[in-house]
Chain A
Amino acid sequence: MSTGSILRIEALGKGFAAPRGRVEVLHGVDLTVAAGEFLSILGPSGAGKSTLLRLVAGLEAPDTGRIVLAGTTVADAARRLNLPPDRRGLGMVFQSGGVWPHMSVRDNVSFPLVARARALGLRHAEIAAKTDEALRLVSMAALAGRRAGELSGGEKQRVALARAVVAAPRIVLLDEPLASLDANLREQMRGLLRDLQDRLGLTFVQVSHDQVDALSMSHRVAVMAAGRIVQIGRPEDIYRRPASAFVATFVGEGSVVELEGRRLLLRPEDIGFAAAAPTAGEPGWIAGQVISAAYLGARRRLVVGCTLGALTVDVSAGAEVAAGQACALRIAPGMGIALK
């Protein structure tokens, strides 16, 4: 990952007219993305993350602020400048794929090269070669002649991905690219996306509301809420050192408790569990009672009531635990994340 920035967003603001007045979706967002970086913008529905991506793409015009792409200002509200999408040199994968059903897989993928052939000085043979290469990258070469409308959801997303990277764009924008896929396909696509990003060295900016997608693939994660970026950092930092209670509870599981006058976030894995009431005087253990137990396959998730409140605890899937059972919890010293 290079250290030079390829995308700079400054004080970006955007609102939309609504039946009952105007709704401000983005409030002065600042963001810098380094060349070759995989950045995920994570947030709940309505946080403004898709709007942010559409502004970068040129599909919307900002009300305030500016966007600088590879050193060129592509949008500047003060100057009423908003370069159209076709002149920004980007690639994009949409949640629904946006794959054109009336075209073949090959025509879909070669489209960005054909559209930019003159600007890039490409000839037929080069377009064909680059298209073949992109299809091979996503393992879709065998289906190149098939109509895109006949593909499955996962295949469409592969085509969309090949189309997004085929012209070696400045940035590849990913708008919830895995949201419409089932669990197995999601896992496969995560690997494919990371692999492609590594091999091609392109800059990826992904929008997602799924923390696993964001944490597992990204170099950095920007958490958004109510039109603002509330924290940006490495996935580990976001998870272990959340800047606010919102980030702490939105990213990962956990219980917020008051302990020794401080507000702490306890992750399920921070809490020790014993399936029997603690013996009197045993240090570090507190008595509890299982309120609910849910089997999740690889593990069992419990909600345990104790003097600190209701805590979420993970135990092994094989543990025989039932609701109503007495138990003991242990919170090791230094565990828990202090919240402001």
Chain B
Amino acid sequence: MQTTESAGFPASRVSRAVRGILGWRSAFLVLLAVPALGPVGVILAQSFDTSGLGEPFRFGVGAWRAVLGAPETLSTFTTSLLLTVRVPAGLAIGFAIAWAVVRLRVPGHQVFEYLCWFAYFLPTVPMVSGWVLLMDRDFGLLNAAVAGLGLPAPFDIRSPGGIVWVHLSLQTVPLLTILMIPALRLLDRTPEDAALVAGARPARVLGRVVLPLVAPAILLAGLASWIKALEAFEVEQLLGERVASFVVSTRIYGMVSSEPPRMAEAMALSMIFLLLLLGLGLLYSRALRWRGQGAANRGEGSGGARPSYGTLLRRSVSVAVGLYLAITILLPFGMLVMGSFMKLFGFFALDQVWTTSNWSRVLGSASFGASLRATLTLGLATALPGALLFGLIAAGMARLRGPQAAAASVLVWLPWAFPGIILGVAILEVSLTFPGMRMLHGTIAPLILGLLIRDLPIGVHVMRNALAETDSTMADAARISGAGWLRTFLRISLPLQMPALTLVFLILFAGAIRDVGTILLVAPPGFQTLSLQTFNYISNSQFEMATVLGTIVALLALAVSVLAHLLGRRLGSVRSAVGTRA
């Protein structure tokens, strides 16, 4: 008699041995739990370590006492929460743009959708300098223009309002638009058409029909965006310099980078922050399942349907959306490029304002070549194995049922709640503490690990969506035809998923080349990506050099966004491609 075997999993010798002990589903869950729960465990343990540098672990609660007793703890949490006011604002604007793109199909809707993708892939750090050039209190062009009218300067980019604006324009709105476009595309347009035929005006149709139907998707997008908004680091670090320990993430960074490092305190603060975010993460995971159960609202979608709204309305909305996106995305991008040609960043009153020497200095420097190589190496080393790994995890998850499927879903989404800076700290601790991991210290392996853990939710989510939309009988037919799990995966599932895999590759690649928060503390000496170098330039107020590097990274992102957009369209829209920033 044949051996006992469950349908649908590889029968390699290694996995047989593991399954002999646990069963493959349990082994799979354990493997998922390592990246999901590992960082939490490390942070928790280290928060109770009161030993000094190089000393063995010594248990104590001193760090917790210090953090809980410090008045800054409450103020940083409050500021972090207050700055998330951008999420509801972003939801409103993002939904309006998504509605204009999908339901109104306004003239230029494809360009608008592409611009959101472009903004999503743009590196945040150099784009900040574009806004600085426009809205700096002292030399910002917009302020100068207003001052020319004899009025006081209205803008200050280095204020909470400025930070909210930068996030809103470059991250929150593009991300939420990208998230809501697929939800609107999947919505059956019959109820909307029925309301229009019944005599309702567009505003009533939107308020009474469309909004209630897509409410679950909007709430879900808002929750995902809120979690990411709480974790934001780079913009706050660069623009919040006037306020010491401005938000939680910058305070953690301050503790870790102080001399000597206050690691235990950083970990205790991280743990409190993580508990808040994990709560939100679990809520998000539950909301995802709730939305999955409420899929009855979905119809055949309206991708190719003829719009039923009036021409005047569509044209007016097109102008409004076009203006908004031009001001919030193209204007700072243009300023970034312009800044790279300025002799002295922000000084428009010089005799000779423009120069190409910034470019020749950057392109001629030895560090540029090294940084470019480091950027491409990190991007490829993360994206290639990452896309395959996430594809395999998604395929494995498709085979789970009941409580195991729910557990896997929670585990995969948990890293969504890990702020990049905390993840970096946890990985730094692991690579310093655990004997087996010490050999990785000083290599780029911890960077790759951190980036993969950070992008695990989005990568697996895209792959799971793609798998769910593929006819399951394709793989079933291969199994019944005599193909084992591996042959089925390689010959059938993988080729069918190639567009989604390529999209995940691009998302990982773009995420890796623009990342700062996750790799800032883990990067080995001498290993500096273009984004890290840009971050350092801006931190040292060397904006001229930063804008050149920023433009180069932005052009790389532009190429990636073109590819991602084309693939997204081939997939029928990049369905629920949840971003990694907010």
Contacts and interface: CB of A to CB of B under 8 A. Distances in A.
Given A19-B293, A80-B4, A82-B5, A102 B495 contact: yes
A94 B479 CA distance: 13
A19 B295 CA distance: 14
Interface stretch (A24-32, A84-92, A224-232): A84-92
B469 to A, nearest CB: 13
B8 interface: yes
Contact of A59 (B1, B474, B476, B496): B476
A92 B33 CA distance: 37
Contact of B7 (A85, A90, A91, A173): A85
Interface string A49-61: 0000000011111
A7 interface: no
Nearest to A109: B481
Given A61-B7, A115-B483, A83 B2 contact: yes
B480 to A, nearest CB: 4
Interface in B398-424: 401-402
B471 A96 contact: yes
B484 interface: yes
Contacts of B482: 86, 89, 112, 115-116, 119, 167
B223 interface: no
Contacts of A60: 7
Given A98-B471, A102-B496, A163 B479 contact: no
A119 B483 CA distance: 11
A81 interface: yes
A111 B5 contact: no
Given A86-B483, A86-B484, A96-B471, A163 B477 contact: yes
B344 interface: no
A74 B2 CA distance: 8
Interface in B55-111: none
A23 B293 CA distance: 16
A211 interface: no
Interface string A264-294: 0000000000000000000000000000000
A199 interface: no
Nearest to B4: A81
A61 B485 CA distance: 16
Contact of A98 (B2, B4, B401, B477): B477
Contacts of A79: 4
B208 interface: no
A166 to B, nearest CB: 9
B401 A115 contact: no
B361 interface: no
A307 B339 CA distance: 94
B287 interface: no
A106 B481 CA distance: 14
Contact of B479 (A85, A95, A101, A119): A85
Contacts of A99: 477
A115 B7 contact: no
A119 B484 CA distance: 13
B492 interface: yes
B293 A98 contact: no
Nearest to A91: B480
B5 A86 contact: no
A121 to B, nearest CB: 14
B7 A92 contact: no
Interface in A106-120: 111-112, 115-116, 119
B496 A85 contact: no
B365 interface: no
Given A59-B7, A111-B483, A112-B482, A92 B476 contact: yes
A98 B473 contact: yes
B130 to A, nearest CB: 43
A94 B476 contact: yes
A61 B25 CA distance: 15
Contact of A87 (B2, B8, B474): B2
B204 interface: no
A336 to B, nearest CB: 43
B8 A91 contact: no
A285 B497 CA distance: 68
A98 B2 CA distance: 28
A73 interface: yes
B45 interface: no
Contact of A86 (B473, B474, B480): B480
Nearest to A99: B477
Nearest to A112: B481
A86 B473 CA distance: 14
Contacts of B6: 61, 82, 84
Given A82-B6, A85-B7, A58 B496 contact: no
Contacts of B552: none
Contacts of B481: 86, 91, 111-112, 115, 163, 167
A17 interface: yes
A115 B487 contact: yes
A86 B481 CA distance: 6
Nearest to A117: B482
Interface string A37-72: 000000000000000000001111100000000001
Contacts of A163: 477, 481
B372 interface: no
A96 B492 CA distance: 16
A255 B7 CA distance: 46
Interface string B486-511: 01000110011000000000000000
A89 B479 CA distance: 10
Given A98-B473, A115-B487, A83 B5 contact: yes
Nearest to B289: A19
A263 to B, nearest CB: 39
A96 B475 CA distance: 13
B7 A82 contact: yes
A43 to B, nearest CB: 20
Nearest to B293: A19
A98 B472 CA distance: 8
A116 B478 CA distance: 11
15 contacts: A59-B7, A80-B4, A84-B484, A85-B479, A86-B482, A87-B2, A92-B480, A98-B474, A98-B476, A99-B477, A100-B474, A112-B481, A115-B484, A116-B482, A160-B477
Interface of B: 1-2, 4-8, 11, 293, 401-402, 471, 473-474, 476-485, 487, 491-492, 495-496
Top-4 shortest CB links A-B = A98-B473, A98-B477, A112-B481, A115-B482
Interface of A: 17, 19, 57-61, 72-74, 79-92, 94-102, 111-112, 115-116, 119, 160, 163, 167, 173
